Amino acid sequence: MARALVGYVGGPTREQVLELARLRRRVADLEAEVARLKDENDGLIRSLGEQVDRVPDDVLLAPAAH
């Protein structure tokens, strides 16, 4: 009887369980995408740093042309 009462009083419905599973998958997918973009961003920052390091100091210190 207790099991029947829990279901009646407010246990999750099948649709709610399925929706929760779908949302958890979506969150996991988004977390993986954030990690991938962070890795890509870190690589771009490293690449940019390497390019700036190759620019001669006299070019960096020269006045800007108008």
Q: 4 to each of 7, 11, 12, 64, how far by Cα in Å?
A: 5, 10, 13, 79
- Which pLDDT belongs to residue 26? 98
- For the chain of 66 residues, list the mean pLDDT of each consecutive stretch of 10: 62 92 98 98 91 79 74
How many Å is the maximal CA-CA distance in the chain?
A: 85
Whole-prediction pTM: 0.59
